[in-house]
Amino acid sequence: MVEDILDKKKNGVMFSYEDIRSIVDGYVSGEVSDDDMREFVMYVYENELSFSEINYLTDVMIKSGEVIDLSSLGKVCVDKHSSGGIGDKITLIVSPIVASLGVCVPKMSGRGLGITGGTADKLESIPGFKINMSRKSFMKALDEASVCVISQSEKIAVADKKIYALRNEIGAVDSTALIASSIMSKKIASGADKIVIDLKVGNGAFMKDLKSASKLAKTMIEIGKYYDRKVVCVLSDMNVPLGYNIGNALEVKEAIDFFDGVYEKRLYFLVVYLSSIMVSLGKGICFRSAKKLVVDAIDSGLARHKFYEWIKYQGGKISKFKVDADSVKVLSDVSGYINSIDAQGIGKLVFDLGGGRVKKEDSIDYGVGVSLKKTVGEKVVKGEVLCEIFYNKKVRGMEKRALDAFVIGKKKRKEKSVVIKTIK
């Protein structure tokens, strides 16, 4: 069946909706084998699909599982998705900020694969936090607290889960058609009215270049229009780790620090920017007015209160939270200015320390990671601490790997904005 459908495509005939439905539904039911699905996925990965074909694929994946209806809440719901990056703890910070301003934030988050972390893993490093909740409990939390982050339901976009695992296995991850249909099938099935996508670009992200990222953004926006969903894509820089901490528990600690008024400037800028877009969409106000509300919520402690309310509501015990690992400091061997920090290099190190997984069922070490003590644009003196490595088992050459991630020059380079551009 799959070979016949692919032969049609190779002869210049577009995939029909029925073609894609028969392959995808057949794979979910077991009628289409892994080998046949690999052939289909690799064809999609290596060849362009039309927008109609991408939309067919998205629709079939949506209909392969349940679709959540949030209309009974009587609130405008704004979801935020990140394509994943090194040190990306944005959901932990943005969600309570936006919710504190009366905008409902429903969020289904996945676990990390490869070098990019997953929000579900970060939250599970908090003792007692319930990432798995029933739909009834999810709806109750949104009604009462206006924010809830749970793991992706096994009943939502069922086809996507099987296809994503296969994509990861064969290395067919960075494809516009496959990424767009994967992200949008889950977002639409999850029921939010409006969707803000933080699309990471750089060596620490799936999308390595601006051209590919822009194409993906425009594709997702068009899919959103088809389903009457407003989608805004923010392209943000991931050539440098985001914030100070990389690693599950370490990133939770950084979120706690953020609400205590301690934050890295690039992280703060992106948090305020994304929160302002979400509040603007949720309240139907201009970006400038939304930004003022966001900054006031952070400064007044309103957002901090919502953060602790949310964590407690989902069973998390911040008082028992700790980063459980040994550590070693890495010192600079030269003086100068930090011009860059290799996001991919730091991400691979954290992965090798046990902070990441190859397969979703793999276990991870929540406590390991890297905490930057100096970041881009800052001056460093020989012998100063550049970063601290948290480990429970030593990895050969880990101090050198961390040191090599820092690019230090005699002159200070002009810093680039963490927000590259916004596409609506």
**Residue 135 annotated as catalytic:** no
Grouping H, G, I as helix, E, B as strand and the rest as coil, residue 101 is coil
Beta strands in 83-206 (DSSP E): 105-109, 147-151, 194-201
Please check whether residue 114 is in contact with residue 325, taking contact to mean a CB–CB distance below 8 angstroms. no
Query: Which residue of the set 21, 75, 80, 81 is catalytic?
Result: 81
**253 φ, ψ to 5°?**
-60, -40
Q: How far apart are the first and last CA of the chain?
A: 39
- Show the tokens assigned to 285: 């106000």
Which amino acid would we find at residue 58? T
Secondary structure tally for the chain: helices H, strands E? 16, 13
Please state, in angstroms and rounded to a whole number, the distance separating the CA atoms of residues 60 and 371: 42
**Residue 182 annotated as catalytic:** yes
- Show the tokens assigned to 284: 């139907």
DSSP state of 373: S
**Residue 81 annotated as catalytic:** yes
Query: Which residue of the set 111, 167, 194, 229 is catalytic?
Result: 167
Edge-to-edge strands of the sheet including 194-201? 78-82, 194-201, 230-237, 419-423
DSSP string, 73-99: G-S-BEEEEE---TT--HHHHHHHHHH
- Show the tokens assigned to 215: 């194409």
**Residue 288 annotated as catalytic:** no
Query: Which residue of the set 36, 59, 160, 365 is catalytic?
Result: 160
Please state whether 153 falls in left (phi above 0), alpha (psi between -120 and 50) or beta.
beta
**Residue 225 annotated as catalytic:** no
DSSP string, 274-342: HHHHHHHHHHT--HHHHHHHHHHHHHHSHHHHHHHHHHHHTT--GGG----SEEEEEE-SS-EEEEEE-
- Show the tokens assigned to 22: 């028969």
Please state, in angstroms and rounded to a whole number, the distance separating the CA atoms of residues 68 and 191: 5
Residue 406 Cα to chain centre, angstroms: 24
DSSP state of 204: T
List the Cα angle 407/411/412 in 5-degree steps.
Answer: 75
Q: Which active-site residues does the annotation give?
A: 81, 160, 167, 182, 186
